[in-house]
Amino acid sequence: MFDTQIHVPEPQGSGPLLARGMDLLGQAMAMFAQVDPADLPGEGLGEVAVQLGSHSRQLAATEAMIADRFSCSETWAGDAARTARDWFTGRTNDTPGAVASTLTRGKAMRAHSAMARALRDGDVSPAHLRALEQAHARFPSLTAQLAEAEHDIVQLARLSDAKEFTGLLTDLCHRLDPAAVDRDEQKRRKDYFLHASTLLDGAVRIDGLLPAALGAQFQVTLASARRAAPSAVSADNAETTDSEARPDGMADPRRQSQRNLDGLQKILEAAAGAMNPDGTIALPAVNGSRPVVHLMVSLDSLLAETQSKAAAWLITYGVPTAAVSAATAQQLVCDAILEPFAVNSRGELVATLPTTRAISPTQRKAVILRDVVCRIPGCHRHIEEVHHVVFYRHGGQTVLSNLAGVCWFHHHAIHHGPWTLTGDANAELILTQTATGKVWASRPPPKRE
């Protein structure tokens, strides 16, 4: 970060040492600049690289310490700089973030002198210093006790890597004063939050910071909901190659962060359907019904042969809040509760029809027992939705031979992509890529005797 050719003042004390060190460093760097790695034998270079890394960390520690001293002196203000970070950024090609990191490390070294000395000696890494700084920030009630024990803490850091040291230091804090640790953790509850905000296009942004116990519970539950079912392929697919078993373009290309959406959907569906031991709904009613998503769509759009019809509207607390395509509405109708009603041209309610379920709970259980996992060849995910092979809007009957268990991703692909699923779900289904004409067969897994 610094130009080794700058003039270094020589005040009383360690000033001459700094000037001499800068001179020697400049000479050493000039020598290293003349080294051509291509001329060196490979033997022993690994150890040299390790030594250079150690020296580099020591030099970075000294850099941070000096940068912090310069920042505290406020002499940078004489150059019309607003902050020390601005001063350094204007004189180097480092990013503001890199400069801020150096200044923060220097400030931490000033606060923790014993750890700073070990860092300058190359005995510990910046991560050890950062762990100690975070322990002070996390448990402010233990500041005095941690400062008193810092020499022992440094010895602990010398004997363990950064990750292990963090765990040992946390355990030490709990042993020093469990009651103080608990008080600090309770005070931090005001820092935790969970925000859900609706954007202009109807998408919802989730942002939050969860306490450790709740966060661990959320992660475990999400991983459980996201986990794929055990492999279960049909007899026809068992002897095929991977390329034959998994249709091109039907593999799930999403990152885990995107597949977390499937897991979250499972969690919400399970919560919405949860029942108390006495048979009542576990969650309180919303607008008179259990907490589920409501979608309003015109009959014309629902039965349309094209996807360019009127949008369907998501209903939140009785008010339309976001639009989705008619194709998405048609996909949802495959497996939903239908509440038909008629309105006139002025939007007034004229009549209601009996509520029906597109697929009954008994039929859903039968499909899951028969198919076990998603019926798309090569996919072994849990069944999340039930698909009408002959689309519901085309008059497809809600019978087992016309119902196939699929995961959300492939249900979406059938309704929105160049794919068709035909045949008898009880026997053989044919998946066709309509753009290429290539087909794959899928049969229910054989039943165990």
Q: Which residue has the higher pLDDT, 391 or 62?
A: 62
Mean pLDDT of the chain: 80
Please, is 278 exposed, middle or buried when counting C-beta atoms within 10 Å of its C-beta (0-12, 13-18, 19+)? exposed
For residues 101-113, give the mean pLDDT. Answer: 94
Calpha distance 230→232 (Å, rounded): 6
What pLDDT is attached to residue 227? 67
For residues 281-301, give the mean pLDDT. Answer: 68
Q: Nearest-CA neighbor of 329 among 400, 380, 391, 373?
A: 391
- The partner residues of 441 in beta bridges, in order of sequence, read 430
Contact 415, 402 (CB under 8 A): no
For residues 298-327, give the mean pLDDT. Answer: 63
What pLDDT is attached to residue 404? 93
What pLDDT is attached to residue 269? 77
Calpha distance 357→379 (Å, rounded): 27
Asked whether residue 155 carries a pLDDT value surpassing 80, the answer given is yes
SS (H, E, C) the chain: CCCCCCCCCCCCCCHHHHHHHHHHHHHHHHHHHCCCHHHCCCCCHHHHHHHHHHHHHHHHHHHHHHHHHHHHHCHHHHHCCCCHHHHHHHHCCCCHHHHHHHHHHHHHHHHCHHHHHHHHCCCCCHHHHHHHHHHHHHCHHHHHHHHHCHHHHHHHHHCCCHHHHHHHHHHHHHHHCHHHHHHHHHHHHHHCEEEEEECCCCCEEEEEECCHHHHHHHHHHHHHHHCCCCCCCCHHHHCCCHHHHCCCCCCCCCCHHHHHHHHHHHHHHHHHCCECCCCCECCCCECCECCCCEEECCHHHHCCCCCCCCCEEEEECCEEEEEECHHHHHHHHCCCEECCEEECCCCCEEEECCCEECCCHHHHHHHHHHHCECCCCCCCCECCEEEECCCHHHCCCCCHHHEEEECHHHHHHHHHCCEEEEECCCCCEEEEECCCCCEEEECCCCCCC
Q: Nearest-CA neighbor of 66 among 26, 27, 120?
A: 120
What pLDDT is attached to residue 263? 82
Ranked by mean pLDDT, the top range of 50-54, 103-107, 383-387 is 103-107
pLDDT grade for 290, boundaries at 50, 70 and 90:
low
pLDDT of 383-395, one tens digit each? 888 888 887 667 7
Asked whether residue 167 carries a pLDDT value surpassing 70, the answer given is yes
Asked whether residue 233 carries a pLDDT value surpassing 50, the answer given is no
For residues 391-418, give the mean pLDDT. Answer: 82
pLDDT grade for 13, boundaries at 50, 70 and 90:
low
Cα 336 to chain centroid, rounded = 29
Q: Which residue has the higher pLDDT, 233 or 70?
A: 70
Could you give the angle at which helices 408-416 and 256-272 cross, rounded to 10 degrees?
100
pLDDT grade for 232, boundaries at 50, 70 and 90:
very low
pLDDT of 109-133, one tens digit each? 999 999 999 999 989 999 999 999 9
Calpha distance 1→59 (Å, rounded): 11
What pLDDT is attached to residue 390? 86
What pLDDT is attached to residue 358? 67
Asked whether residue 103 carries a pLDDT value surpassing 60, the answer given is yes
pLDDT grade for 362, boundaries at 50, 70 and 90:
confident
Could you give the angle at which helices 126-138 and 45-73 cross, rounded to 10 degrees?
40
Asked whether residue 350 carries a pLDDT value surpassing 90, the answer given is no
Q: Which residue has the higher pLDDT, 44 or 310?
A: 44
What backbone phi and psi angles, to 5 degrees, belong to 211?
-65, 160
Contact 249, 433 (CB under 8 A): yes
What pLDDT is attached to residue 241? 41
